[in-house]
Structure 1
Amino acid sequence: MPKIITPLTAAQVKNAKPKDRLYKLADGGGLALWVKPNGSKVWRFSFNGENGKPQTLTLGAYPLFSLVQAREWRDEQKRKLALGQNIKRVKVRTAYTLEKIACEWHEKWRKDMAEKYTVQVMRNFERYIFPVIGNRDIRQIKTIDVVECLRIMERRGIADSLRKTKNSLNLVFSYAVGSGLIEYNPVLQIGKQVFEKPKNRHMAALPPSELPLLIDFLEQRNGFANPTNRLKITPTTRLAIYWLLLTMTRVQETALARWDEIDEKSGQWIIPAERKKERREHIVPLSTAMKQILQQARELNVNGVYLFESYNYRSHINKEAPRMAMQRAGLETTAHGLRSLARTYLREELNIDNDVAEKLLAHSLGTKTQTAYNRSELLKERGEALEKWGNVILTMMGNSQQA
C-alpha cells in the first residue's frame, strides 16, 4: 500500500531547520522541499521520464518561491507530462535562451527607468517566466508557451502583475526581433480577452515600507535623480501629491481645492458638502507640513482660484496627473491609494486611534447624532494626528523647515 503523504503547511516550510545531511520534506504529487546543511531550501519535482527512469526538475529556492507557487509549478509540470511533453529538456546554447536575451534587454532598458520598477520586472521574470521557459531557445518559443506562464499568474489572481509582465515580455521579444534572432513576436497575438477579467479591482496602494521611495520620487533624488523626461514631475503635480498624502483626502477634492476654502485664521481647510462624496462638510486641520505646501503653491500661482492650477492657469490640475506621474515612475499606487497608505501608517506606525483615522478619511462612525458628536469631539485629535503624520513626511524629505 503506497505511503500517504500529508501536504506541507507554510509554517513547516518556513521553520524547516538544517541538519548534518541533505534531507527533504515531501508535499505530495512529486513535489518536495530539499533542505541543505547550510540552511538553504530548494523546491524539486520528481517524476518518471519517457524511459520510466526517475528524474528530477528544480524550481528554485524558498522563500523566492512560496509553497503555493511551488504547488502551481508542480501542477503545471504534471499537466505537461499528461500531454506527452518532455519537461526535462536538454539545455540549449546559453546565448539563445530566453533568460539570456531577457537579461540583455533588461540591462539596456533599465537605464531610463525607475530602479524600483526595473527590479519588479526582473523579479516577476524570475518568479513566473524563467523557471518555466527561461532555459528554452528563444527561437523556438511559441505563443502558447508564453500563455502557459501567464496562466500561473492568472490563477494567483495577480492581474496587474500579469499585465505588466506580458508587456515586459512583449518588449523582450520585440528586442529579439530587432536583433535578428527571431522573425516574429509571439506575445503580439496575446490579447486582453485571453485572460479572465478580475472580479474585484481594489485601488492599488503602496505599503508603508515604500513611503520613503515615494518621497524620493517627489524630491527627485537617489534612484530618481537626474530624471529623464519620463520620470520628471511638474512642481504643481509634486505639491498636489504631497497635499493628497498629508490631508488624506480624495483626488477630486484635492484637484478642486480652492483658496477661499482655506481659513488661515482657524488653521483649517473647510471642504464644502457639495464637493464631498458623503455630502457633509469636512474640516481638515492644517498641519505645519500642509502650511509649507500652501506657501509653495501660492508662490507658483499668485492670483489663482485653485490651490493647484493647470499648466495654462485656466483651471485646476487634471485629477489624473498625480496617478500618471507616480505610475510613470513605476510606483504601483493610485492617487486614491495614498489614503490607504496614510491610514495604514497612522494606525500601524503612529498608533493613532481607529476612530480618529476613520474621521480623517471623512468616514461616518455611526448615527447622525454620533456623527455630529464625533465631528466636534475628534477635531483636536485629528489635528494632532495630522501634525504627527506631517512630521513623518517632513523628516523623510530631510528638511523640517521647507517642503
Structure 2
Amino acid sequence: MPRQATPLTDTKIKALRPKLARFRVSDTGGLLLEVMPSGSKVWRYRYQLHSVRYPALTIGNYPEISLADARKQRDEWAALVARGESPRKAVAASKVEKLNTIQAFAAEWFREQISDKSDSYSRNVERVLNKDIFPKLGRVPLTELTPGDVMALCDHIKSRGSPKMALFSRNVLKRMYDFAIARQLATSNPAAALVARFIATEESRTRVLTPSEIGFVLRSIYASDIRRPLKLALHLLLITMVRKAELTEARWQEFNLEQGTWDVPAERMKKDLPHRVYLSAQAVELLQELQKLSGRSEFLFPSSRGSDDRPISKSTLNQAVRALSLDVQHFVLHDFRRTASTHLHEMGHSSDAIEKALAHKVSGIKGVYNRAEYAEQRKQILQAWADFVQAQVAGANVTPLLKRA
C-alpha cells in the first residue's frame, strides 16, 4: 500500500531551505510545493486523467498563495478530474477570458516578453502602450481589432508630428499579436496588414518652420511660465543647430566662451565623431546667463530632482514644449535642424559648410578628399542663423525681450 503524504504546515514550509537543484515536497491529493535553488517556492498540482499522467499545473508562489488557497485550487481541479474534465483546458479558457481585451493581454505580453529586454527598449514600449495604445484601443477585445483600427491609431500619432513613433506603435502591436497567435488567443495579426512604408520612412519628417513661425515659437517660449533654464535650452537648441541629447547632456568643461567654441565629445554624437560648434554672440550671452543658473553643477541643465548631479532627462524639453500647447501644426523639436538648414540654403550659404555645421557627413568625392572643416564659413553660418532667428522674434535686437522673460 503506497505511503500517504504527510500534510504540510506553514511551519514546515518556512523551514524548507533551497538546494543546488530544485526539489519537491508533497502535501496531499496531488498538491506539491517545488523549492527552487533561488529560494522561491511554487505550488503545483499533479494529476492523472483517463489513466494518463499529465505535467503538473502551476498554481503560484508561496507565500503570495497561502497553503489554504493552494488546497482550495487543488480541490477545484480535482473535482474536474473526477468528472473526466481537463483542468489544463479550464486554465487556458480562464486565461483567455481574463486576457480578453488588448490592455489586459498587452500587460501579460509585456511582463513575459518585454520586461527583460534592454532598459531603453522596454521604456519605449511601455510609453507607447500607456500614451497611445491603451487610451485608444485598450478596451477593444483582442480578437476584434482591425487593420483600420491600427491605421487610425497611426494617423492620430502622425497628426502630432511623430511618424516614426506611429511606426513604432504599429510594430509593438504586430509583435504583440504574433505572441497572441502563438498562444492561440488570436488567429490573425491586424498590424501585419499595414505596410511599414505607408506609415513612415526615414524621410517622413519634412516640416520646416516659416520665419513667422520661428518668431511665434520663440516668443511663446519666453512668455510662458516654464523654468528659465528650459527657455534658454530651447533657444540654444534652435540657434546652435545641434541634436537635443547633444545639448541636454552637455557639460561646462566642453565650452570655451572666450573663444566661442563648444566641443561635443564623440560618445554623444550620432556618428561617434567629435563635433565643434562655433558659438554665435547670442549663444554666448545665453550660456553666460546659464552659468549663473546652473550653480556648481558640471552640467548646463542639471536635474532638479534628487540629490545626484545629473542632467535633465531626454524628454524634459519635449514635455516643456507640449505644455505650451503651441498653435503650430505638426511641429517637433527636431524640426529646428531642418528649419535652420532650409533657411541657410535659401540665404545662399555653402551647402558643405551647412552640412558640417549640422554634423552631417559630406558625401561623394568631397567627403573623401576634402579635409577642410569649413571653420570660417561655419562661424559665419551660425552667426547669420542666430541673427536671422533674432530678427524673426522682434524684428530687431531681442535681448531686452529675453532679459525680461
What TM-score do you get using the length of structure 2 for normalisation? Answer: 0.46
What TM-score do you get using the length of structure 1 for normalisation? Answer: 0.47
